[in-house]
Structure 1
């Protein structure tokens, strides 16, 4: 019993005739008959009533027809999703840092979807460390990250430059430098922006009053607005999430004030039409900068 047996069964049910089904499938009639008999032997029941005008499904055949239709639909869907075609289609799995997903991805994805509506985009948000692992393990096709490790398996495209800002409810600057009585609000470990902030604190000799870990951008912005501490985020994020200027935006004075955002993907990954067109779009963004 194989999938072609179900295709033959489905066609006989549609045509109500073994001979007409054979013509539709370009098989000899005996071949179709053998496939039907194989199914009947497997299920130990009669699937068709045979009569002078052709065939009619038995109650058992009616039940099996439902499953045969589903199997054929899945077969056709798998061909559409897996088969390489010049026209982008199927699923494109990518990842992004939460900050990039919030302020950079909407425009990129909207423009891409406008041109390639047949592509279903699945976007995951994680920190840079986790996203890099997912790309290396083939779990996603590419990701927007803030730090590109020197791995020979990875290809990278620098897409943006993010200017880092300190965000606070009150001024974090005093006449003699930065206040040390501040709590700092950060993403969880694995976030490259957190790593840069920690390096800056060390270079300034600042010992934070407290480190608050949150796993959402909304949560971090909300806590800063509530006066619970200081955070460091890209200027684009600060301007979008604090459009009414409730917070003080202070440029980070550090060698990593400007941090590139890369799109990374495996060099040996299957370059579907969907991924190729997405990469083309990113190269255009890079050129236009």
Structure 2
């Protein structure tokens, strides 16, 4: 049994198909099959049920998958930490909400790339809920999320404050008349989006339960639907400013208790704090935080 066998096992479990796994990993199908048989012999248990659609984990297989994910995660973090140098290099995986990556991150990422050109950046967009889960599972090094987090396993740094506004085509909404709002389609990001939660709470406070929702997963798609007059939406003012040249789109301010939301950078307390990670914290403007990371982890 070796780490490569576990990595292949994890991929087979994810795909539920040996042929697909072989294609993904650029292995021969017989090679993948041999690795799975070797694992079954090593542990003395059948790990997969074979059927005409592929394979399904047995109970022992599910147990092994849980341990394999932990082992592979720890080995990846060990490699990151031990191969870390005094100069930022390697990889850095960052998660972000759609609105943040579109409006706030370009300047930050440009500065970081200029200072750390040898770091390979990767990005993952999602809702605040999805990104918190990814950070907790250490699938990413850190993420930009909205609102209060307060999780014992996560560190959080407040990066900036956003103002939220309602946007709509003038022809369908002239003011925040709640009789009008009741009959309009609410254009929102998928469930788990913090801004969507704020939108729905504000409407509920006015006795409105949206009867028509249009769910989208991209900022461009959401803006496009608003411009087409398909409904109204709630966005950060920084994102809504992208529409300032469109005279047909109007912004409406929310009451103060709903208007202000903080954006935070979160990361797992036990994530590998590499030199690349510490430099990213510095670029965000948290010199004290990055110095403390270096002190604790010897980066």
Flag whether TM exceeds 0.5 (same fold): yes
State the Cα distance separating 1:169 from its structure 2 match.
0.3
Distance 1:176 1:83, change over 3 A: closer
Q: How many aligned positions are there?
A: 209
Tell me what 1:194 maps to. Answer: 196
Structure 1, residues 184-205: CA drift from partner, whole Å, max 9, x if none?
A: 1000001000000000000011
Alpha-carbon contact 1:157-1:283 (below 8 Å) kept: no
Number of the residue aligned with 1:264:
266
Q: Deviations over 1:141-172 (max 9, x none)?
A: 00000134221111101101110010000235
In structure 1, the residue matched to 2:109 is 109
Distance 2:178 2:214 in 1: 25
Are residue 99 (structure 1) and residue 86 (structure 2) matched? no
Equivalence map 1:1-289=2 (5 Å): 83-170=83-170, 171-173=173-175, 179-284=181-286
Judged with a 3 Å threshold, the aligned counterparts in structure 2 of structure 1 residues 275 and 244 are, in CA distance, closer, same or farther, namely same
CA root-mean-square deviation? 2.3
Pick closer, same or farther for the CA change 1:80–1:253 going to 2, 3 Å. Answer: closer
Aligned-pair distance for 1:175?
Answer: 6.3
CA distance in 2, matches of 1:176, 1:107: 38
For the residue of structure 2 that corresponds to 1:182, the secondary structure is coil
Indicate conservation of the 8 Å contact 1:146/1:261, yes or no: yes
Q: CA deviation at 1:217?
A: 0.8
- Structure 1: gaps (5+ residues): 1-77
What secondary structure sits across from 2:224 in the alignment? helix
Give 4+ residue runs of structure 1 displaced > 4 Å after superposition.
78-82, 174-178
The answer (yes or no) to whether the contact 1:167–1:231 under 8 Å persists in 2 is yes
Alpha-carbon contact 1:81-1:91 (below 8 Å) kept: no
Unaligned runs of 5+ in 2: 1-77, 289-299
Partner of 2:261, secondary structure, is strand
Q: SS at the partner of 2:200?
A: helix
Change in Cα spacing, 1:97 to 1:227, as seen in structure 2 (3 Å) is same
1:148 and 1:156 in contact (8 A); partners too: no
Shift, 1:176, TM fit: 7.3
TM-score, with length taken from structure 1:
0.67
SS of 1:199's equivalent in the other structure is helix
Find the aligned partners of 1:101 and 1:108 in 2 and give their Cα distance.
10
| Shift in alpha-carbon separation, 1:104–1:93, aligned structure 2, 3 A | same
* Structure-2 change in CA distance of 1:161 and 1:245 (3 Å): farther
Partner Cα separation in structure 1 for residue 120 and residue 185 of structure 2:
41
Q: Which has the larger radius of gyration?
A: 1
1:223 and 1:229 in contact (8 A); partners too? yes
